[in-house]
A and B are shown apart, each in its own frame.
Chain A
Amino acid sequence: MRISLFITCFNDTLFPQTGRAVVQLLERLGQVVEFPEAQTCCGQMHYNTGYQREAIPLVRRFVDVFSGAEAVVAPSASCVGMIRELFPKVAELAGDPVLAQRVAALTPHVYELSELLVYKLGLEDVGAYYPHRVTYHPTCHSLRGLKVGDAPLRLLRAVRGIDLVELPAADECCGFGGTFSIKNADTSIAMLGDKMRHVLDTGAEICTAGDNSCLMHINGGLSRVRTGVRTVHLAEILASTEEYAGQRLG
């Protein structure tokens, strides 16, 4: 299958290793990966902060860049949520029925990484090896937005060498919430405190998730208080093999 990678602006800039892991993983699985270089951002930050008209040109760009793709994958549940749930609203706001049609044609082909692997490609064992104690945080957008179910856990359970431990109160929000983390920093940090406590309770070395935005927030706290626990995107775990263990991907 030819798979177009929507890296997301956030990963492109701050977490390129996640993008490299997606490419490596999909190519190892025999897929052809394309990266349309005209892509930028899905407009989620604008839309969710209330700058909804400002999201219109970004949605148009996305649709121009990715229309006609066999499959589009993004290593971010919240960006895929934006595309699937909110692009139709943006098209409506733009008052543009053609855009609405193009959105409707495109969105069924857009997948979050674990959805693509488990539901589209029918895989659980992707041949990964990752000898670390790991706990998985289901992000709100993957859990309650996209409803990816246990797809990420099925992928993780099949990883060789992994010591996967359950996160207590896993389905509770970590407190990131996009610009909430800055506009309501105090509340965001109070929520993070509890998430960190649960992560530490597992004794895990690594906390993983399908979204680097939540992980950046969780890692920000874990790193500030020198917990010795770090966060790693799901894609990087799944891309790891005996030859390319963990951080050597960087």
Chain B
Amino acid sequence: MSVSLRNQRLPMFQQEARKALGDTQLRHNLGKATQTIRNKRNRVVAEVPDWEQLREAARQTKVRVERHLDAYLLQLEEAVVQAGGKVYWARDAIEANAIITSLVRMHNAYEVVKIKSMVTDEIGLNDALAQAGIQAHETDLAEMIVQLADDNPSHIVVPAIHKNRAQIAELFRASLHDIDGTKLSDDPRTLVMAAREHLRTIFLRAKVAISGVNFGVAETGSIGIVESEGNGRMCLTLPEVLISVMGIEKIVPTWRDIEVFLQLLPRSATGERMNPYNSFWTGVQKGDGPQEFHLVLLDNGRTNVLADPIGRQALHCIRCGACLNVCPVYERVGGHAYSSVYPGPIGAILTPQLLGIENASSLPYASTLCGACYETCPVKINIPEVLLHLRGQVVRAKQQNMLHRDTDPENLAMQAALYIFEDPQRLALVQKLARIGQIPFTHNGVISQLPGPLGGWSSARNLQSVPKQSFREWWHAREQEKKHDGTATR
């Protein structure tokens, strides 16, 4: 499910959503989990009197970053090198995976521990490592669950949101062979302790750790990761070698800027005032923690996104997942329906841009434009605006393909509607014709079955028939009557 390869066409959202909607267990798990996170988030956000100013400050910082990204990246590189780290530039997933694989091999390592990271999912790193004979161990509990189940994450922050604890207990009993399965109940604490026991031996053994990056501070070369379980802290301190993969948009200009994001991110992501573990490191400290630090800076389509003045705000995302938790579409279909590493509203605007609009043309339509995402986003990404912008690109791409244009029913319908709306007399005529045209479908003033592509409407919804008199006919008649009355009185 990696989005690393351009020209890889994603399945249609409509079809995937249909499958997901039929899974009652999934619907129940998602509804419960998103509601819980939403409530927690709302409680801790309400405590912050300057929340709106913080959002605006974060937005402006991100705008500054995108405007001077070239300079900030060089500044970051210099600072990281100065502090004893090494920096690599990867144009795409293939380059990034090659760099990482060769670094791991150089240390004769055949396994790595990983901190939960979206960007390594994006480049399909685990598969690339596996092909090179290197086993990647996901150490975030939910990522570990997803990996054990040979499944895909379905949420940016809560990757196993689609599973409940009973399902997880079942999975652990079947796949954690170093744990006595008979002792495993579905009690959360028992499950966490089992995972802890399983992971602890791996942490102590692993020589190489791989992480993503939440923040890269250009001014100081400091790299930051926030997490809740302490598995990240283990990965960042125990192994000899640390490799961090950073999307080039993850820059913040100065150390001071972190204060804004550390207030916004945990509250938006998990409804916590602060993350339990906030790790920042600058290069290498002799005798303390990893003695080698490698930073891989990844483009993978980001500079293309940056070139689009409206679309580029998608790069402001700090991966909090708040837009997923409030999205009424996500809440019902879950993350897998998007067939994209980045699901939900942010995925619907980011994936088509990273992958090419022609490869994810159904995603910009996976929204009712209700605006809940924009209202919640801690960095004020106007997701509905970008969705509309991308829909425009989908249609333009469709229309430029001449063959398609003349047969596409939607395009034909839209052109016909435009023709009708260009002339009020035409509109009035069509209103009259509709009254006749609907007769075969109408029973007792109600239409309960529509033909062709409109059948989706009537599969569960009635439609009242077109009334006998349109508003404009009523108005016209009333005006005539008034005139007539006026003449009569005179």
Q: Residues of A at under 8 Å CB distance from B?
A: 7, 9, 11-17, 19-20, 23, 35, 37-41, 43, 45-52, 54, 57-58, 61, 86, 140, 144-145, 171-173, 175-192, 216-217, 219-221, 223-224
B381 touches A (CB below 8 Å): no
Smallest Cβ-Cβ distance to B18: which chain A residue:
A186
Q: How far is the CA of A145 from the CA of B369 in the complex (A)?
A: 10
A58 near B371: Cβ-Cβ < 8 Å: no
Cα distance, A155 to B27, chains bound together (Å): 37
Please state if A180 and B367 are interface contacts (CB–CB under 8 Å): yes
The reply to whether the CB of B17 lies closer than 8 angstroms to some CB of chain A is yes
Given contacts A183-B365, A224-B462, contact A9 B427 (CB under 8 A): yes
Separation of A38 and B265 alpha carbons in the complex (Å): 51
Task: Report B-chain residues with C-beta under 8 Å of the C-beta of A37.
Answer: 424, 472, 475-476
Give Cα A45–Cα B420 distance, bound, in whole angstroms.
Answer: 13
Cα of A178 to Cα of B388 in the assembled complex, Å: 13
Main secondary structure of the interface of B (DSSP, over half): helix
Q: In the complex, are the beta carbons of A16 and B474 less than 8 A apart?
A: yes
Closest 3 CB pairs of A and B: A177-B368, A220-B461, A185-B456
Interface band, chain B: 35 or more
Is B60 in the interface zone, CB < 8 Å from A? no
Are B394 and A61 in touch, CB under 8 angstroms? no
Q: Write the B332-374 contact mask toward A (1 if CB under 8 angstroms, else 0).
A: 1100000000000000000000000000000011111111101
Of A20, A45, A173, which is within 8 A of B471 by CB? Answer: A20
Q: Which residues of B (455-490) have their CB < 8 Å from a CB of A?
A: 456-457, 459-464, 466-467, 469-476
Contact B333 A182 (CB under 8 A): no
Q: How far is the CB of B385 from chain A (nearest CB, A)?
A: 9
Assembled-state Cα–Cα distance A12/B365 (Å): 27
Main secondary structure of the interface of A (DSSP, over half): helix
B449 nearest CB across to chain A (Å)? 11
- A189 and B421 within 8 A (CB): no
Cβ of B462: which chain A residues have Cβ within 8 Å of it?
Answer: 219-220, 223-224
B394–A186 CB distance below 8 A: no
| Selected contact of A39 from candidates B366, B424, B446, B476, CB within 8 Å | B424
**B392 touching A46 by the CB < 8 A rule?**
no
- Listed A/B pairs (28) with beta-carbon separation below 8 Å: A9-B427, A13-B431, A16-B467, A16-B470, A17-B467, A20-B474, A35-B475, A37-B475, A40-B427, A52-B391, A58-B421, A140-B370, A140-B372, A173-B328, A179-B365, A180-B368, A183-B14, A184-B329, A185-B457, A187-B21, A187-B333, A189-B461, A190-B21, A190-B332, A216-B463, A220-B461, A223-B461, A224-B461
